[in-house]
Structure 1
Amino acid sequence: MFRVDAYEPIGTLKPVDDDIWIVDGPVIGMKWLWIELPFPTRMTIVRLADGGLWVHSPVALSGGLKAELAELGPVRYIVAPNKIHYWWAGEWQIAYPDAIALAAPRVAEKAHGITFDRELTSEPEDVWAGEIDQVLVPGRFMTEAVFFHRSSSTLILADLIENFEMKKVGGGIARMLYRLAGVAAPHGSMPRDLRATFAGHEAEVKEAVETMISWEPVRIILAHGQCYEENAVDELRRAFRWAGVC
């Protein structure tokens, strides 16, 4: 009924800056209110100083992507940043059994059949401290772990901001729904239904976003929709005005 075009080509590395790449994945269906809307997917890969690969919100793993990764380095860390972004983590664990799987709080309660080695906190793991910063953003429905790749000044989000380009959305009704949800580019934000689950946690959200701002990011990688290649701090202030960020 509804259509959103994927960010072709999918399943292949796309460089962002030195030692950081995105991989656009397939379009999946996600429930919004009483209907299912299509969402393009995206993962982020960082090559750490020791050569190991850090994988954020993994998408479907193809043979071609696996071959590309083999040329970059060994997959050492698989990160599920919230309880929605774990879908393909199990597939990656099977493909890379020596990798350490980490998840935000409460992911394990949803990701049945997937075992994670550790739960993420607001303190970076020792193995990537100094290269990737992180902070937790807590809510009633879920907590999201947000990351900042220092050397490229890149902030990495999952669902805290979604930014759908209307030119990729098929049909007037679908475009209307994405606008109602508050996720239409270039003024993307947290979907309004998800935002409602952070009611009562505005102070914690504000504190976390102010931490993100203090990192002085240049760009923001998003899991759904168009990324922000510049003016990252201004976009954070705009998108989280509802939480008191100014």
Structure 2
Amino acid sequence: MPSPEETLNGQSALNLYEPINLLKPVAPDVWIVDGPPIDFDLGLMRFPFSTRMTVLRLRNGDLALHSPVALTPALRSAVDVLGPVRFLIAPNSLHYWWVPDWKAAIPNAEVMAVRGLQKRAKRPIAVDRLLVGRHSPWPGEVDLLVVRGDVLTEAVLFHRATRTLILTDLIENFEPKRIHSWFLRLFVRLAGAADPDGKAPIDMRLSFFRRRRALRMAVQEMLAWHPERVIISHGRWYDKDGTAELRRAFRWVL
């Protein structure tokens, strides 16, 4: 059986959001960078995921990189033009891989991560500050909400000035037209993570069974922020109607 990374004719199984490794403006002081794919081990197969970093520029000019993508010299130069990188955010136990590379390049940057990351990480990562509860490092600009599940704990950020909600894996929205493999397209649809009705995949939804009430309260708090847009790490993100998309994607728990 060929690897899911390739179709039989040798082409990539996943169309990326090109151009990759390029800053793309989203709103004032908010950018995204679509990066190279990563392979997620599902046991019997490996699934290729697109990646996405979000860049926030704080009022004092400092930059926070959420879920950093692979570091390249050109990307580092482009980011440096925006301001000094002061914070590197690993928002859950799956989105950390390139943080040590950025930390090595920018030693003064502070690494922020959810609790338990260092135990689960498959490469060494030093954490300077834990993201817990609602204790935002920038309370006047960015709201923080940590959502705990049995399998995954995720730090959710809300940039108040632009009403931008930043999620990671709580919503996945893979576009079937970008997936060349019919098997992977079927897999994504069965998991419930296919555009235009992307949501948390079924295994993650099941992992919140014991914490359903806490998750419902967290989603209600996100809805109360009335986000205009919702950035996610995998698949098509929502550049408008953010609150409605959030309510749709989490209808399974509301």
With the length of structure 2 as denominator, give the TM-score of the two structures: 0.93
Is 1:9 aligned to 2:19, yes or no? yes
Contact 1:5 1:27 survives alignment (8 Å): no
Is 1:67 aligned to 2:82, yes or no? no
Whole-angstrom CA distance in 2 between matches of 1:35 and 1:180: 16
Find the partner of 1:183 among 179, 188, 193: 193
Is 1:236 aligned to 2:249, yes or no? no
Shift of residue 114 of structure 1? 0.7
Whole-angstrom CA distance in 1 between matches of 2:185 and 2:223: 30
Amino acid at match of 1:91: D
Is 1:120 aligned to 2:131, yes or no? yes
Alignment CA distance shift 1:33-1:242 (3 Å): farther
Contact 1:42 1:223 survives alignment (8 Å): yes
Alignment CA distance shift 1:124-1:45 (3 Å): farther
Whole-angstrom CA distance in 2 between matches of 1:238 and 1:129: 28
Whole-angstrom CA distance in 2 between matches of 1:39 and 1:169: 10
Whole-angstrom CA distance in 2 between matches of 1:196 and 1:31: 19
Whole-angstrom CA distance in 2 between matches of 1:109 and 1:199: 24
Q: Name the SS of the counterpart of 1:41 in structure 2.
A: strand
Post-superposition Cα deviations, 1:186-244, rounded to whole Å, max 9, x if no partner, equal 1000011122211111111111111111111011001000001122112222211222x
Post-superposition Cα deviations, 1:123-174, rounded to whole Å, max 9, x if no partner, equal 2434x21111110111111210000111111100000000011110002222
Whole-angstrom CA distance in 2 between matches of 1:38 and 1:115: 27
Post-superposition Cα deviations, 1:76-130, rounded to whole Å, max 9, x if no partner, equal 000000000011110011011001100012212112411100110122434x211
Task: Tell me what 1:110 maps to.
Answer: 120
Q: Name the SS of the counterpart of 2:189 in structure 1.
A: helix
Whole-angstrom CA distance in 2 between matches of 1:192 and 1:34: 17
Whole-angstrom CA distance in 2 between matches of 1:76 and 1:141: 29
Q: CA RMSD in A?
A: 1.1
Is 1:99 aligned to 2:109, yes or no? yes
Whole-angstrom CA distance in 1 between matches of 2:181 and 2:136: 44
Is 1:88 aligned to 2:77, yes or no? no
Q: Name the SS of the counterpart of 2:214 in structure 1.
A: helix
4+ residue runs of structure 1 moved beyond 2 angstroms? 31-34, 122-126
**Aligned sequence identity (%):** 45
With the length of structure 1 as denominator, give the TM-score of the two structures: 0.96
Whole-angstrom CA distance in 1 between matches of 2:199 and 2:41: 17
Whole-angstrom CA distance in 2 between matches of 1:186 and 1:134: 27
Unaligned runs of 5+ in 1: none
Amino acid at match of 1:173: F
Find the partner of 1:19 among 29, 38, 41: 29
Whole-angstrom CA distance in 2 between matches of 1:139 and 1:33: 21
Task: Tell me what 1:28 maps to.
Answer: 38
Unaligned runs of 5+ in 2: 5-12
Whole-angstrom CA distance in 2 between matches of 1:170 and 1:21: 28
Whole-angstrom CA distance in 1 between matches of 2:36 and 2:61: 27
Find the partner of 1:161 among 158, 164, 171: 171
